[in-house]
Each structure stands twice: as structure tokens, then as C-alpha cells.
Structure 1
Amino acid sequence: MIRRQSPAIAAALGLPLLLCACSGGSGADVVDRPSTAPASASLNVQNCIDQPVRPGGPSVGNLVVPDTIKVDLTQPAGFPNGRRLTDSVIDTELAWIFLDLTRHDANTLAQRQLGPQANDVAFRSDFPYLAAPHGGAPAAGAGSNFNFRTDPASAYVQVDRMGMPAIATALISSSAKNAYNDDSPAIDGTVKYVNEITSTLAVLANALQDDFQRLGLSICARPVG
């Protein structure tokens, strides 16, 4: 599995958002959200969705919906234009959805080295380059590994969608995760999960705004009204 560098935000930044790392193998993604929304929401996160990830580039919304990895061969390689094994994907996405990108670079959180700075197991020097997954194969009857080289496409069973892991982990609530993973990017295109994403982002932005301010970081959310 591709390394998903997870910033230890609660420990390193003092923010009540925990993302569990998954590196070199299987692992669970957990988000500890504020137990309740603020008494009165004071921030609107539409600007966070609409802001471009770089000057003249696509908006955050266009990158995270649908949940896919996009590749433009005319642009330099590296997340979000494709994904290298060493890219700080989680840190980058969290910067997109929380920070004012007119004031902060999308690499701001990655440069603070919030999470693991290397995979827990060295990458291989030959294809498929990834280290062996942690754990063993599923128990009999509980599923099977899919061999992309020999198995027919009809045998593939989708179990997760992690093109944009911070979105799936932090902004899709537990009650919607199974449906989200079962759906496809084509369903994303119907904006089925846009309200889910924006409402959860609003709760987190309101809860974390003072923490970002304390760290000298400007958030992308704007006061209501």
C-alpha cells in the first residue's frame, strides 16, 4: 500500500484531530472529531472548497470530487499530479482544506514534519517498489488477494477508495464510510457526498480555528455573513 503520511496533529499541533497512519501495509484510518458542533457555526467553508491549490490551478473541490488520482503529463510529477511513494499526501490535503492558500503554500504542513518522515519499511528497488504488506492473507472465506497480472477484472472487489485519503478519512463520517467506499468516482460526480464533505469540514474548521490562529496559520474558512 502507498504510504499515507499521517500528521500527528494532536501531539504536534495540539489540534483535536487524529489521523492514524497506514504505511507499508494494512491499517485503520481513524478520525476523532469534536463530539458536538459549535453552538453556533461562525465559519463558512465554501472558500476552502473553491480556492485553487496553486495559482491558475484546479480548485480543491475539483481535485477531491471525484476521489481519484489525476495525472496531467504536461505538469511536473508529484501529488496531486499523480502520487509518488514519498509524497506527504495527508499533510498536503489538510493544508488544502484548512489553510488560506493565498497566504500559505500547500506544503506548509508537510514542511513542519508533523508525521513520520519515512516509510516504516524500506521501499523495494524493483517493481512493485512497495514493501510487503503487514499481516497475512485474509482467512478462508473472508476474501482473497487480487493479482492484477493474472486475475480477470471481474474478480476485483473494491474495498476502499483512497485517492484522496484525508478527504475519505477526515471528512466522510463513520456512518457514511461504507457507502462511500462502495460507491465509485462516477457517483462522486453526482455531488452525492458534497454536503457530507462540507458539513464535516465546517464542524472541524469551527472547532479548530483558534488552534490554527495560535500557530500563526490563516484558515481558508470565512466568517458567516
Structure 2
Amino acid sequence: MIRRLVLLATLPLALAACGGGGDDAPAPTPTLAPAGSPLNVQDCLDQPVGPGRRSVANLVVPDTIKVDLKQPSGFPNGRRLTDSVIDIELAWIFLDLRKHDALTLTRLPLGPQANDVPFRSEFPYLAPPHGGTPAATGGSNFMFRTEPSTAYVQVDRMGMPAIATALISSPAKNPYNDDSPAQDAGRKYVNEITSTLAVLANALQDDFARANLAICAKPVAPA
């Protein structure tokens, strides 16, 4: 995830490598807020996304995968193996989705465009492992774990991986990972997410501008 944020600084080169801005029409370079000046990211959190047109804030708080069986499958309605979840989430929180679609970053060569081994077409669907097929040994005396769930410790939350990784600051990561979606729903981390997103948007706004990508964050109006 951190590598993805670093690679966003290479957006202009990535666009040149793929012959321009894809399906997005070139736009005038937007006026940038001075570095370090506050940005309002509420428009980013209010953007409607996905088949149910839910707001970004509603999808990422609480940090869970949502599934509506009446809607087409595919992130954010569930998660398919081929879904570029990180790129989609970064588009949600940074791009103005009135001007760019949520798949904009998936079309840029910022990372692998597909799994290195094709996925299976039937269960278990995951790609076969690298290397040869393990030989059957006819072993016995397998020891299966029988501890109750209370014996385990939660170490990470990855319902919305870009949100948990990028928008929760280092001092808050352990408390966030120790908490549950119930605490998220009580808006415990809303201020944390909002303030971190504003800092990142300010740092990356010039990179998006050079790539002719409009961001959803806006300069704070003077009092």
C-alpha cells in the first residue's frame, strides 16, 4: 500500500507510457492549494460509488466488506480475485469521480496488471502455487487446532485495505487493529481518517495535477 502511494508520484510518467490519459479527456491543470495549506476532503468522503451508490464514508466506516446479493458482484459489492481493490479505493479517496471513473488508476501501469499465474475457473479458484505438485506421502497423525476463537488475537483488519493502511496514522494503527467494526460505526476514527486524507491529498495534489487528474479535495475557503 505504501508502495502504491509512492508510485502515485510517477503518474505523469505512467500516463506517458500508456499513451495519455486513457478514457479521461485532458483537462486544464487545476489551481493548487499552497503546500501545507489545509484541504477540505469532505467531498471525497461524500462521493457516491459502487452499484448501490453509497458514499465513500458509508463504505469505509465501518471497515467491512459489504455484499448485496441483489447487486452485481465485484468490489465494492464483495471482492473478486481479479478486482484491483487498492487502485479502486485510491481513486475513491483522491479523485473527483464526477470527472474520472473509479477504475482510472487501475488502467495506469503502476503495478502488476494481473496475477502472474492465471486463476482457476472452478473451486478453489486461487491460482496453483509455483513449483511442482507436492507428492502424496500418505501421512497420518495430523494435529488440527482446536482452540476456541477467544484464544486468538486480532492483528490486522483488511476489509478496506487502502483505508486501514493509508488513512490510519502510525500511532493509531495498533488501537485501530485491536478495535472492531462496531467501534468504527460509532465514528471513533472519522477524525483520524479525515485528517490523514487531507495531509496526503495536499502532498500528492501536484502529482495528480501533472497527470491531468482532478482531485476531490478542495482548498479550505478563507474565513
Name the TM tier (shorter chain).
0.7 to 0.9
**Which residue of 177, 183, 187 corresponds with 1:187?**
183
Q: Letter of the aligned partner of 2:215 in structure 1?
A: I
Amino acid at match of 2:156: D
Q: Which residue of the other structure, out of 164, 169, 172, is the alignment partner of 1:168?
A: 164
The match for 1:103 is: 99
Looking at structure 2, the residues matched to 124 and 86 of structure 1 have their Cα atoms a distance apart, in angstroms, of 11
Structure with greater helix share of residues: 2
Match for residue 22 of structure 2? none
Which residue matches 1:72?
Answer: 68
Equivalent position of 1:41 in the other structure:
37
Please tell me whether the aligned partners of residues 7 and 90 of structure 1 are also in contact (alpha carbons under 8 angstroms).
Answer: no
Q: CA deviation at 1:119?
A: 2.8
Matched, 1:115 2:133: no
1:207 deviation in Å? Answer: 1.1
Distance change >3 Å, CA 50–CA 215, structure 1 → 2 = same
Q: For 2:146 and 2:113, how far apart are their aligned partners in 1?
A: 35
Q: Does 1:89 align with 2:104?
A: no
Normalised to the residue count of structure 1, the TM-score between the two structures is 0.72
* Aligned length in residues: 187
- Unmatched 5+ stretches in structure 2: 12-33, 131-142
- What one-letter code is carried by the residue in structure 2 that aligns with 1:210? D
CA drift of 1:124 comes to 5.3
Tell me if structure 2 keeps the 8 A contact 1:7–1:116: no
Structure 1 distance, partners of 2:109, 2:115, is 14
Q: Is the 8 A contact 1:48 1:96 kept in 2?
A: yes
Aligned residue for 2:153, secondary structure, equals: coil
Q: Flag structure 1 segments of 5+ consecutive residues without an equivalent.
A: 16-37, 135-146
Partner of 1:29: none
TM-score, length basis structure 2:
0.73
SS of 1:91 mapped into structure 2: helix
The structure-2 alpha-carbon separation of the partners of 1:57 and 1:150, relative to structure 1 and needing over 3 Å to count, comes to farther
Indicate conservation of the 8 Å contact 2:66/2:76, yes or no.
Answer: yes
**2:168 alignment partner AA:** I
Q: 1:92 to 1:39 in 2, by over 3 A?
A: closer
Greater relative CO (CA pairs within 8 A, separation 6+): 2
What CA distance in whole angstroms lies between the structure 2 residues aligned with 1:104 and 1:41?
A: 25
